[in-house]
Structure 1
Amino acid sequence: MWTGVFFALAAGLMWGLVFVGPLLLPEYPAVLQTVGRYLAFGLIALPMGWLDRRELAKLSRADWLEALKLAAVGNLLYYLCLSSAIQRAGGPLPTMMIGTLPVVIGISANLRNHQRDGRLPWRQLAPSLMLIALGIACVNQVELQALRQNPQADTWAYAMGAILAAGAVLCWTWYPLRNADWLRGHPNRSPRTWATAQGLATLPLAALGYLGFGGYAYSSDLAFALPFGPRPALFVGLMVAMGLFASWLGTLCWNEASQRLPTATVGQLIVFETLSALLYAFLLRGQWPEPLTLLGIGLLVGGVLWAARIQPEPTGLSLPAE
């Protein structure tokens, strides 16, 4: 149990980095940041794939198709929605929306996977979900107040950011549930191999996206310096860092956690991503969190620790009639 929690924490710390890129590169289109990140992820996965070639050869056509679906929705579409939301609404609003994932995934998994993982009793789960929701509300109250005080706030941009962030939530509610289904259904397969397979499946999609953006920019006379933009060193460095840490290593750690923990529990541990994103945001701002923010962080951590103590109750499967 605690080994799984440690892996989920490591994944959250690395996934929090994905909130930094759009803030550091506001002049770069979200599409370019998305395909750039996952092009780096795919290229990093190539040598890993060579080292893991024997295990990868055991994957069936259906397995590769599943990896392609997970890559398209959980990687490209998710980050396209998230980075677009951050560029339109700033960091706080998307962080608020993504912060609801522990509750959304926890409830979805408890409804969907109770026969496989056992049911986490709602009576015991409710206090954890309430602590997490209250902690997120405290953190976001401070962030929303800062948004209201911004004289240059664009209502339409914030509305579009909220819609795009909701799309990111949908993508990342689907991804961990579907990813856990494959991992729990293939306990003899290495989580490392599955993370590499998703990286390899992402590579052709990201390469086509990068070429497509370049073709669009060239044909429409878009005033953007190709292929790496006006700050190539920062762009390439961030893409490689996110491809290595947030994508490959983060996925690996998440897969390790998903094989060890019930889906409803591991879903709540995505709260570590929210905490990491807030930490990095405050470091970028050079500000100390408000007291209400610190209270919210304490409630979030308390809710996670509460959930980690809950043991699932087995659910008997009905036998078919003879």
Structure 2
Amino acid sequence: MANNQQADTAGAIPLGMLCGAGAGALWGLVFLAPELARPFTPLQVAVGRYLAYGLLSVIMIAPRWKNLKRSITKKDWEALFWLSLCGNIVYYVMLSQAVQKGGIALSSLVIGFLPVTVTIIGSKDKGAVSFLALLPSLLFCLAGALCITWQAFDAPQAGSHSVSGFFCALVALVLWTAYAVGNSRCLVRLHALSVHDWNLLTGIVTGAQALLLSPVALLSGPLNYDAGTLGRFVAVSCAVAVVASIFGNALWNRMSRLVPLTMTGQMILFETFFALIYGFLWESRWPRPLEVVAFVCITLSVLTCVSVHHKHATRGRRAVDGLMENGV
């Protein structure tokens, strides 16, 4: 029986990694969207994406709404409001600003530190890995951050736009970290709602916020776009909503059930990897040396972090097994 379970686990991990890679490939397109919709302001890009996401979520959740609404508490709605505002609307405005000013490569490299920032916050939780054990990971993180900072400030091609893009990406990283931590803690306490329903509810709340911000978004840029430009904007908004928010999240949730928790953070590297590829293809260039070094440092930082957590979990299991063997 145990051998069959081990075989099932061994078979699930490759499939889980494929799902993680698929989610990363789809989420990486989010970094390309602001470039495809460059005539529009970051606020317009964010509102367009989340209006489409909200509409799709309403359509998908409508058949189950009568039964589902009884399971949603006031606390859930409050959490959904702040998570949607912080992790979707404001985050994507800052990310779009970072992409349009600093480029896809710089923005994706900064956001690539998400697993490390989340882990640092998580290290304060009871029973978590100690800060000292995370030091090697943090040193790699610092080295990568220095490379990105040098690229943004001192590289020959850098200018005021690159610097402002870098700071916008930093703000986006802080917002996405807050969202990841808050959303994770909400999912832990959810019992009556599935992960899929939580994703759709997030889409509905984000869509409502985007609708309220629509007048501001219209006034944030010129209104004299031709039909072709408007058509491309609508197509990009709908594509990002379907590809990233619906299918990307679905693949990520599937992956989360197939691989061990210690591997989940590592999978976010696929988003950075694909976003960089899309960025280099869009800009028709090879990665610069500092970008290569930064990506290597990010990878080593996340892998070191995962390794520490794996050893910590193994020691914990051995301790529990020892207590059980001693009859405690």
Assess same fold via TM > 0.5: yes
- The answer to whether the Cα contact below 8 Å between 1:180 and 1:258 also exists between their aligned partners in 2 is no
**C-alpha separation in 2, matches of 1:133 and 1:7:** 29
Check conservation: 2:116, 2:302, Cα contact below 8 A.
no
Which has the higher Rg, Structure 1 or Structure 2?
2
CA 1:142 to 1:7, structure 2 compared with 1: closer, same or farther past 3 Å?
farther
Quick one: structure 1 residues 169 and 66, their matched pair in 2 at CA, closer, same or farther if it must change by over 3 Å?
Answer: same
Asked whether 1:184 is paired with 2:188, we answer yes
| Aligned amino acid, residue 208 of structure 2 | P
Amino acid at match of 1:61: K
Classify 1:99/1:136 alpha carbon distance in 2 versus 1 (closer, same or farther; 3 Å).
Answer: farther
2:91 maps to which of 46, 66, 78:
78
1:118-157 superposed matches below 5 A: 118-120=127-129, 122=131, 125-131=134-140, 134=143, 140=148, 144=152, 148-150=155-157, 154-155=159-160, 157=161
In the alignment, is the contact (CA less than 8 A) between 1:120 and 1:264 conserved in 2? no
1:218-266 CA-to-partner distances (Å, cap 9, x unmatched) read: xxxx64336x876123211211111112222333444556678898864
In structure 2, distance between residues paired with 1:123 and 1:261: 27
The counterpart of 2:75, out of the listed 62, 70, 81, is: 62
Partner of 2:212: 208
1:26 pairs with 2:38: yes
Query: Which residue in the other structure is 1:40 paired with?
Result: 52
Instruction: Identify the structure with the greater helix proportion.
Output: 2
Counterpart-to-counterpart distance in 1, 2:185 and 2:197: 16
Q: State the secondary structure of the residue aligned to 1:149.
A: coil
1:210-225 equivalent positions in 2, closer than 5 A: 210-214=214-218, 216=219, 223-225=222-224
Amino acid across the alignment from 1:245: V
Matched-pair contact (CA < 8 Å) for 1:92–1:143:
no
Kindly tell me: are residues 260 and 306 of structure 1, through their superposed partners in 2, closer, same or farther at Cα, counting changes over 3 Å?
farther
Letter in 1 for 2:213: G
Deviation of residue 37 (structure 1)?
Answer: 0.6
Deviation at 1:41, TM superposition (A): 0.7
Choose the corresponding residue for 1:11, options 6, 23, 35.
23
Give the conservation status (yes or no) of the 8 Å contact 1:142–1:293.
no
Matched, 1:175 2:158: no
The residue aligned with 2:245 is 247
Match of residue 277, structure 2, among 263, 276, 279: 279
Measure, in 2, the Cα distance between the counterparts of 1:188 and 1:126.
Answer: 39
Distance change >3 Å, CA 184–CA 100, structure 1 → 2:
same
Where 1:26 maps in the other structure, the secondary structure is coil
TM-score of the superposed pair, with normalisation by structure 1: 0.77
CA-to-partner distance for each residue in 1:291-313, whole Å, 9 max, x for gaps? 76556545544554554453344
- Of the structure 1 ranges 174-183 and 124-133, higher mean CA displacement relative to structure 2 is found in 124-133
| Cα pair distance change 1:253/1:308, threshold 3 Å | farther
Specify whether residues 144 and 211 from structure 1 end up closer, same or farther in structure 2 by C-alpha distance, changes over 3 A only.
closer
Q: Between 69-78 and 95-104, report the one with greater CA deviation.
A: 95-104
Work out whether 1:199 is the aligned partner of 2:218: no
Could you list the runs of 5+ residues in structure 2 that have no partner in the other structure? 1-8, 320-328
> Aligned-pair RMSD on alpha carbons?
3.5
Q: CA deviation at 1:91?
A: 2.7
Specify the SS of the correspondent of 1:148. coil
Deviation, 1:129, is 4.6
Q: Is the 8 A contact 1:22 1:87 kept in 2?
A: yes
Which stretch shows the higher mean deviation, 294-303 or 233-242? 294-303
Alpha-carbon distance in structure 1 between the residues aligned to 2:103 and 2:18:
30
C-alpha displacement of 1:11: 3.2
Would the alpha carbon gap of residues 170 and 261 (structure 1) be closer, same or farther in structure 2, given more than 3 Å must change? Answer: farther
**Contact persistence 1:7–1:257 (CA under 8 A):** yes
Q: Secondary structure at the match of 1:27?
A: coil
SS of 2:39's equivalent in the other structure is coil
Q: Distance in 2 between matches of 1:270 and 1:299?
A: 14
Go from structure 1 to structure 2 and tell me whether the alpha carbon gap of 1:154 and 1:136 turns closer, same or farther (over 3 Å shift). closer
Q: Report how far residue 204 of structure 1 moved.
A: 1.1
Q: Equivalent residues in 2 for 1:261-276 (5 A)?
A: 266-267=264-265, 269-276=267-274
